[in-house]
Structure 1
Amino acid sequence: MELGPYILLATLEGMITASVLALTAVGLSLVFGVMRVVNIAHGEFFMLGAVIAWCVAQMLGGHPAVGFAAALVIAPLLVGSLAIAADMTILKRLDYDPERTIVATIGLLYIIQQLTLMSFGPEARPVQPPFNTRIALPWFEMGADGFKLIWPWGLGTTTYKLFVIVAAAALLLAVRLMMTRTKIGLLMRATQADREMALAFGIPVERIYALVFGIGAGLAAMAAVLIVPIQQAHYLMGADPLLLSFIVVIIGGLGSLPGTVVAAILIGLSDGIISVFFSPTLAKILATLLVGLVLVFRPQGLFGIRSV
């Protein structure tokens, strides 16, 4: 097979990574943008989404599509409710102080992780995809008679992987519409712009904070439900999404949702291509190096606004 088909396959894998990463990072960016809280436990909310998806699939049984559809609803709701409870019982009592909330979310990370280990166990467990038909992909080759369509052996993907990309794009569009076209989005943006002014106008800021924290965790859980049929549910699987989400949020601009999506696509594609041709470790090294360059030459990120 020529180099071109390999690049196409790597790009498809990178788009899957980018799609899931964008959902996860948008949740983290939303929390920081509105609440000014750095949620270190964000990766554990991702992990909980995958674990709950496995539990729902096991409990319902039957056709995999039934359990998957139920997990798409149940996992984000349960994880979002847990995040709201954590906000009201922990972060609110700390008055959302930046330093103390970092320590608190680190503690929350270990609590969730260890409780999951005790209940779920240390094994990685697969979730069967609802559909997984293999699709052969065409390639163009230059011949004596010009370009012709060929079907190289091994060049293909699955319907579920394509579904992950489409579903993530639809969810990101829904978040965008929520932020720009709904009343709750208007209240979030008002709270983000000026907390004191929002309080003066009677906006229930603490309720908005709780809702935003729940939505951010729910998006991470939704991303995990989408990816767990490709990967496996494991109690330590939250570390990489957390690291990559921070990288994406820093590059895109803290609190900038469009910047987060663009940075997720950039990091996801580069991670997929570099991992296929070289190694996943090199991809992480280059992503971290990119963060360093952004912090040096453009501290506010690609789409962030420089503070005066």
Structure 2
Amino acid sequence: MEFGPHLMLASLEGAVTSSILVLTAMGLSIVFGVMRVVNVAHGEFFMLGAIFAWAVSTTLGGHPAIGFAAALIIAPIFVGCIAATADRLILRRINYDVDRTIVATIGVLYIIQQSTLMLYGPEARPVEPPFNTRISLPWFEFGENGFEMFWPWGLSITSYKLFVIFAAAFVLFVLWGVLTRTKFGLIMRATQQDRDTAQAFGVPVGKVYSWVFGLGAGLAAFGAVLVVPIQQAHYLMGGDPLLLAFIVVIIGGLGSLPGTVIAALLIGMSDGLISVFFSPTLAKIIATFLVAMVLVFRPQGLMGKN
């Protein structure tokens, strides 16, 4: 395959990576933006989403689309409820102190991870995609006979990976609508701007924090449900999404949702391109280098406020 088609294929793989990454990082960014909490357990909520997706699809049986559709609804809700419960039982009791919340979420990380190991086991288990048709992609060139279209061998993508891209875009659109067009979004933004003033005007800040913490975990779980037909579910799969989500949030700007989207696209696309043409390890090295450059030259991130 020539360079052009190869680049197109790598770009599509990068778009799939960006789609999962933007959902995971968006959950982390919302939690920090509203609550000022660095959720170290965010990757484990991602992992729980994948585990619940496997459990739901296995329990329901039948056509893979039935279990997958149910998992898309059930897993984020379950994980969101677990996160909201953790907020009420742990984070609220330490008054969301910056240092203590980091230690507390590390504890939540190990509790979730080891509980999953005991109940689920160490095996990696697959979830069958609801559909997985191989779609051949055309390429265009200007040759001796003018404009020509042909189908290079190997230039293709599965219908499920295209679904992942569109599903992530749809969720982001719905999230934007909720944050900008609903009363809940207004309350979230008011709480983010000034917690004490919002509380003085009757906003139940404690409940808002629980909902926000649950929403952040639910977004990560939704991303995990989308990715688990591509990657197998296992109890240690939360580490890489957590690292990449932190990289995205730092580059985009802590608490900046537009910055999170831009940084997720930047990191996801570069990860896909570099992984295909060079190596996945080099992609992680470059991502870490970008974080270092942002911290040195623009500590507030690409779209963060000074």
Task: Specify the TM-score bucket, using the shorter chain as the normaliser.
Answer: over 0.9
- Structure-2 residue corresponding to 1:38: 38
**What does residue range 245-284 of structure 1 map to in structure 2 within 5 Å?**
245-284=245-284
Cα displacement (A) at 1:291:
0.4
**Matched AA of 1:141:** E
Distance 2:19 2:258 in 1: 14
Aligned to 1:59, the other structure's residue is in SS state helix
Aligned to 2:94, the other structure's residue is in SS state coil
Distance 2:119 2:234 in 1: 12
Aligned to 1:84, the other structure's residue is in SS state helix
- Structure-2 residue corresponding to 1:81: 81
- Structure-1 residue corresponding to 2:291: 291
**Matched AA of 2:224:** A
**What does residue range 34-113 of structure 1 map to in structure 2 within 5 Å?**
34-113=34-113
Distance 1:71 1:44 in 2: 17
**Matched AA of 1:168:** A
Aligned to 1:93, the other structure's residue is in SS state helix
Cα displacement (A) at 1:147:
1.9
Distance 1:147 1:234 in 2: 48
Distance 1:285 1:154 in 2: 28
Question: How many pairs were matched up?
Answer: 306
Q: Is 1:124 matched up with 2:124?
A: yes
Aligned to 1:96, the other structure's residue is in SS state coil
Distance 1:300 1:141 in 2: 43
- Structure-1 residue corresponding to 2:3: 3
Q: Is 1:199 matched up with 2:202?
A: no
Cα displacement (A) at 1:115:
0.6
**Matched AA of 1:10:** A
Relative to the length of structure 2, the TM-score reads 0.99
**Matched AA of 1:250:** I
**What does residue range 218-237 of structure 1 map to in structure 2 within 5 Å?**
218-237=218-237
**Matched AA of 1:59:** T
Aligned to 1:119, the other structure's residue is in SS state helix
1:241-287 C-alpha deviation (Å, 9 max, x unpaired):
00000000000000011110010000000000000111111100100
Distance 1:146 1:115 in 2: 63
**Matched AA of 1:116:** T
Unaligned runs of 5+ in 1: none
**Matched AA of 1:205:** V
Unaligned runs of 5+ in 2: none
Give me the identity figure in percent: 71
Distance 1:297 1:4 in 2: 34
Aligned to 2:191, the other structure's residue is in SS state helix
Cα displacement (A) at 1:146:
1.4
Distance 1:94 1:176 in 2: 31
Distance 2:60 2:110 in 1: 29
Q: Is 1:13 matched up with 2:13?
A: yes
1:136-180 C-alpha deviation (Å, 9 max, x unpaired):
000012211112000011100011000000000000111111110
Aligned to 1:62, the other structure's residue is in SS state coil
**Matched AA of 1:29:** S
**Matched AA of 1:55:** A
Distance 1:154 1:284 in 2: 26
Aligned to 1:140, the other structure's residue is in SS state strand
Runs of 4+ in 1 over 3 A off after TM superposition: none
1:3-36 C-alpha deviation (Å, 9 max, x unpaired):
1111111100000000000000000000000000
Cα displacement (A) at 1:201:
0.8
**Matched AA of 2:283:** A
